[in-house]
Amino acid sequence: MSELVFHIKRRPGTAVFLAIPLVFFALLRFLPGLDVHAWSLSWYTRLIQYYFGAFASFIALIAALFANSALGEKTSARSIFLTIGFIALSALFLFSSLATPNILIEGASNPTFIWSIRLSLPISALFFAASTIDWPQNAEKFIVRFRRLFWLAGLLLLLTFGIFAFGQPALLESLMQFDPILPNLFGALSITLLLWTAWRARVLNWYGSTMINGRLAVVFLLLAEAQFSLVFGVAGQLSWLMYHPLVLAALIVTLSAILNSFHTSRDVQLSRYFAALGSILIAGLSLVSVEISFRWLNTGVGVNRTSLIPLSIAQGTLSFVVLYIIVFYLNQLINERNEALRREQHLRSELTQLIVHDLKSPLTVILSGMNLMSKQSLGSLTETQKRLLTNLEKSGEDILNMINDLLDVERLEAGALTLQKSLTDTMQLLKNQTEESKILASTNKQKLFFTHDAKLPQIRVDKGLITRVFANLLSNALKFTPDRGTVKVHIAKGVGELVITVADSGPGVPKHERDRIFEKFAQVEGGERRGAGLGLTFCKMVVEAHGGNLTVSESELGGALFQLTLPFSEEEAILFEEMALPPASYADWALDTGHHTPTPN
């Protein structure tokens, strides 16, 4: 449960969203004057219940149809029970809608309506909880193999309940003698199962997406709150009727997770997106049209809602089919274009890697030869020759770094560069890289400062890639900082993330170029900051692969300020006591002449 609590603490918006209904419920219960008996206030309360049940039933059905394919889950016991749970919720809400007292069926207290509501959440909670169980391999295979029998059995049970509920309501009426013990037992079981399911949904990482797992957990928590209002609210009063918006909110969150999965899919899921969202919109409009038509045509002779519903459904279905055919054709066309584009990108990537490989091999040989010459292994050199070789080696290494950046950018874009994360002292990593960059800074009499906060945590990162990111950012800052200029590097602990800033006194980056500067081969138009356009692209892609962000703004030194964030889990972070002096008296070295002199903060 601590995992779920930790998730809510890190997302205060979710906590507020879940807390508001509970606060409102508490106000209604502790201030009885506010908890009015809305059920008897107006006949329109029943009408709202009638349409709410029908609409919620349809959304639950859409969730059942799309939950498996939309959330990327292959057929498994988990997906089977999750689907059956939404189908049960859909069927029982439909029964409750049709049995709403004095709408289609006369009777102020309809037992079919009451027991459909009472059983909807407990029965669906049983299947939702079953979906979170780690079934043994043999049981998993059995459930998947006979999944159609499970679905058929579930449908037959729901159909049987519907036949007896509408055909023999006296059977349900006899259960009223067990009030309130039986409903409270069902409610307590449902709340317990839904809370457990919410925790398991967050911990299990069902669909490999933190966003989807989090939303599913919120869905089950909202359903638990809906059951809470049914158990502890007063029937017919506002505290009891709160289950309406809570169930609808849970189903809308489910739908948002489904639509988001379509949105982030590699292939355009336009037809599925329309099928899920479009069908719900058309269903809602159809229900509205039924009520409008009823009030317009109702002259007291032979017109009722029951006769208008089939016509409205037929009209909505026809509209949906026509629009779906158009959307399906457009989706096919878009996917064909995307596939052609992917093939082109793949061929271009292969060509790039081939060219880069052919460049890298001879360049490595050239650099090795120059290194031998610079060490005078092949004979003595004049001072002019030494300077020339130094410049040639520097240029060769720049070209080799650009080649490596290009290769890694291609791999990152293709998803072929796997992060090798390990617990790393990022502060020490950045400090070491700063020390190495001081040689370059001293050449141009530049001042390079490094500061950090106390008690920084170690975090899990790919040490090799992050080292290259630090090297690129420092090299970039020194490259565009004028002689005797200043570069300041700082690392601090933010809320759940490390924040690294590299500020320079160079020409800066114009506002309209700050997003484009991270694109491949991008150049700052009309500015002094020029390069190959790969280093910053590499840095941003590596940082984003770690779940962080890299931005550029204006620094207090007048140049560019690159800010890099690396997220970490508070539970996994290991705080350590620094061996250096406290930050108040600690400063790194300033290099302006090549001699190390301590500089105050």
- Say what the pLDDT of residue 356 is: 66
497: helix, strand or coil? strand
565: helix, strand or coil? strand
What digits encode the pLDDT tens for the residues 415-463?
656 788 888 888 999 999 898 888 778 877 888 899 998 888 888 888 8
**pLDDT over threshold 70, residue 570:** no
Q: What are phi and psi of 283, to 5 degrees?
A: -65, -45
The domain limits of the chain are: 2-265, 285-417, 421-598
* Region 593-597 average pLDDT: 36
- Neighbour-count burial of 362, counting CB atoms closer than 10 A to its CB (0-12 exposed, 13-18 middle, 19+ buried): exposed
- Say what the pLDDT of residue 302 is: 47
- Say what the pLDDT of residue 439 is: 78
What's the fold here for domain 421-598? Answer: Heat Shock Protein 90 (3.30.565)
What dihedral do alpha carbons 420, 421, 426, 432 form, nearest 10°?
A: -20
Q: Is the pTM of this model over 0.85?
A: no
- Say what the pLDDT of residue 364 is: 75
**pLDDT over threshold 80, residue 89:** yes
Structure tokens at 527: 């500015």
On the CB side of 78, CA atoms within 13 Å amount to 20
- Say what the pLDDT of residue 499 is: 92
Quickly state the pLDDT bin for 357 (edges 50, 70, 90).
Answer: low
Q: What are phi and psi of 234, to 5 degrees?
A: -95, 125
Is residue 444 within 8 Å of residue 593, measured between CB atoms?
no
Integer Cα distance of 212 and 260 in angstroms:
8
